[in-house]
Chain A
Amino acid sequence: MALADAAQHHREPGAGADLARRVLGSPALRLAGRRLLTAIPVLWGVTFLTYAIMSSLPGDTAQIILGINATQGDIDKLNHKLGLDQPFWERYWHWFSNLLHGNLGTSVINNASVNSDLGQRLPTTAVLVGYSLLVTLILSVAVAVLAARRPNGIFDRLSLGVSTLGLSISPFVLALLLQYIFGSQLRWLPVISGSIGNNPGTWFKTLTLPAMALGFGLFSVYTRLLRADIVEQMQREDYIVTAKAKGVAPHRVLLRHATRNSLFGLITLVGLNLGTLIGAVAIIEPLFSVPGIGAALIDAINVHDVPLVEGIVVVFALVTVLGNLLADLSYAVLDPRIRYGRSTS
């Protein structure tokens, strides 16, 4: 008895290192490593495609900068200064080799370093996305579990209606509506945002409306998926019947058994969705004047600021790839079937 206890205690502090060892040596990490390797050509493909498209757009950057009245000579001089008269491949190679050194180039428009420009904007976007994601996930799980308790009950049908609405409403319409209701009419929340300034508290308030605009659509997708998954587990899986047959209380069956196994699917979805989320940011940020990465994108495209567009695209693509990677990894860490292989019996 004492021996068994001692053995148990020996497990506890060592468990952390034990887990780490298992994960590191596991097929999971090898899978992740493989994914990372395949991600590199994908990233390259994305940057190349963007560069090609941006470069083949009609319209002259120098002309846009100088305005309509510029002379051809001035345009040519500026083009030469910006290096825009070099052939495509030279320009791309130049940019790419800079990228490999971590330098994203210089913005054509305001001559600021793209690195520093994005560096300033990135935290804002990150906070917005994080804020939105966190609140959405908490709400999603809560609503999905409550809905799954009584499938086709009142709460379930209500949440289904709300999530259908969330899926169907265009983000810009939602943004306008939120501004109208909470901003002009009720005057609860500020309509436009700004930089963090001196008051983080107020800054968070200004981020609330854009976070809601982002989050509502997310909430709908996540809640639907999780609820469907939980209900599926509860109704079709045999281990649920076993749990019930043991006499386990319904709330524990729902939470410890069904929901716990459904969270996988949700985490995977969050990872895979990260790319789409970033894309939505590009529309939401300008509407609320949030000075993040997305806000810069549309303006940059308009003025053919290729380095800036490329820089933003690189960030977006990186986030997407990382999201996919996270989704795969989470499976490996959380699903014991992958974490521990078959043992010899």
Chain B
Amino acid sequence: MKEKAQVSERFREFKAELTSRPSIVLGMGLRGFLRLLSLKNPWTIALVALIWLWTLGFYVLLSTGDYPCENLFGDDSSEDFKRCQPLVYYNDLGLGGVRLFLVTLAAISSSGLIANDMTDKSIHLYLSRPISRLDYLIARFIPVVYINQWGEAGLEFDWIKNHKWLLLDILILGSFYSASYSIIGLTFSTAINRESWAAGAFFLFVYGSAIIVEIFYLMIGDDRVLLLSIIHLLDIIGFFIFDTQPFFTAAFGFEGIDIADIEVFGVFILIIGSCGIFVNWMISQMEANK
């Protein structure tokens, strides 16, 4: 009895030492990242491994000297050649597979995070904790960015070794792609409460819009049409990061892109801003309602 009474007294006196909000958010993010990397998510791990293997394969291919940028700029454009090189890893020229995997990775990793919280309604419990709505969104954003960065880290292997002068650009581009696809992925995760549907819709949106836009581009011939496709929009900004001439691969070869900076960044801010506002609004509705 005495022992029981002592336990109850300790229970009664309990007052938890609580850490700061940034620590809570970072902790939530890290735990989310570790869950994505756990064996419960074999597809995530498999995709990261696939991206690394794919990159390694191209690293071996490049060492033979058979490099696609030569076809693009010719042998005498050595500076353009160097700047083009990292971009083709991410983008087209037959290397679309890497981006395909990255988009798939973003779709898989982001789709469940908010969707699952909304489906089982545990989002109400998270939002009743000492964190704001924005804190919650950041905490859910961190794991997706981390996992995508891990995937893209494979791409950085070659540049750390052979092209140090472009390392900063590579890192910025990796973060940019990770963050952008993660925000869009989380938007789908919020809008569609079912994980698999959200992943599928995100994937279709990214690639579907790219295909439609390319068809329209061939019909209309206006470069600005490309801004309506997330893939092309992010790629164009990617070229800005590397300070090189934007291009994309249409059906019959390479096409240069000529669009004003303000139009590109305006559309980008509009899309990402809309995603942020939409997610925030959806969660505020969940807060207020059952």
Instruction: Indicate, yes or no, whether A interacts with B.
Output: no
Residues of A whose CB lies within 8 Å of any CB of B are none
